[in-house]
Chain A
């Protein structure tokens, strides 16, 4: 019970108006059009004047030092105003066009890139991985760094046929939305949790552990007179919920954990309807620190897409036009039994017509 000085709760976030650049306030809701002046540099025109936006890469996992540098630049060039995008880029909001070039220069001195607009590969949305999560099958920050190092030229240019959005999630819980990206990199566990029968009976409540499994895969059992649990391997989907409540059931398996690659998802409604990603590569090994198999596979898909898609065609739209057989053919990706869906309504993904290209 709080008895001392007043403790505040439920105050919510500050009002956003405090954080709007004066030019944004004046043009609020009255913007007329925008132009892209260069990759990463936008001009928005409104009756009160033009606003210039400079979009900058960020690793998302950052320190106060990184942000302090950014804030100093905001003070120097953007009247102290900035924002972040839904894909974790930094955006400086400038009233003065002449500040663009000096700002870009200082950004590049900090080792950051300007880009991510229009037909570019923007920042990769991702989750925590080995940096912070207990159920990760791979690292997220390291994968993102490795993939974006390979693809940086597509961040700083707009030469792709359309936008290309990449996402990383470090396990099937998919805390980062990868199910609707052009290319998704998804950490996978391939084996059920390993039960430490020596410590489990002392460490974990059996009913809670049993109840933790969304698939009812965990049953109580008795080993040498002690109550412990066992896992029905056919039912387990490697979600890690049991490990959340019971540390004696680790899911991590260095030999088998790895990464799968998914393609063809899309969120915006432009032209075609939103689409889910579909499986392209069922498994690639974890090979830190650089994950060469993964970066190679992603780069290959990007390049084949860039060479073959028509203007404005997103990856999924391109594949729908050429058909999946040709996608596997062009990319050289092996088609396996794992590509055949076996979950509920799997049949809806089977070819139920003779519309095939030979």
Chain B
């Protein structure tokens, strides 16, 4: 396909973006997906390719604060953006509220969907401290889980939101 195209047209692109808080630069193919770049060039293999067509959410990453399917975004589109992946959730070995709550509430079985679930939930909690159950369900509606069960996962997000805002309150009081 496209044999007549001069090779320089298909040259790699240089992009730079913020990945989990660090400024990064990388050389990509124009047709590479964001998911491939993050997994293969940065070794961040939390985000998974389940379906590759936007239907499972296993590839969910957060771009400029919004949950998106890494399989449907071109790497080239990350240029200049802020990207968060599941690897950026914990800091210095301490799990994030969501990660703890997923473990406590039995929201993880095989774990395949978990990075995507966590990132959808992360985008939600960054936008809204105390989301209603409906809002949580809506935010996770693009993430399929075949084993742990949605009840446990939704519970976990509610729990994480609660603990996070309690901690924030305590901190405010102590200040």
A and B: interacting chains: no
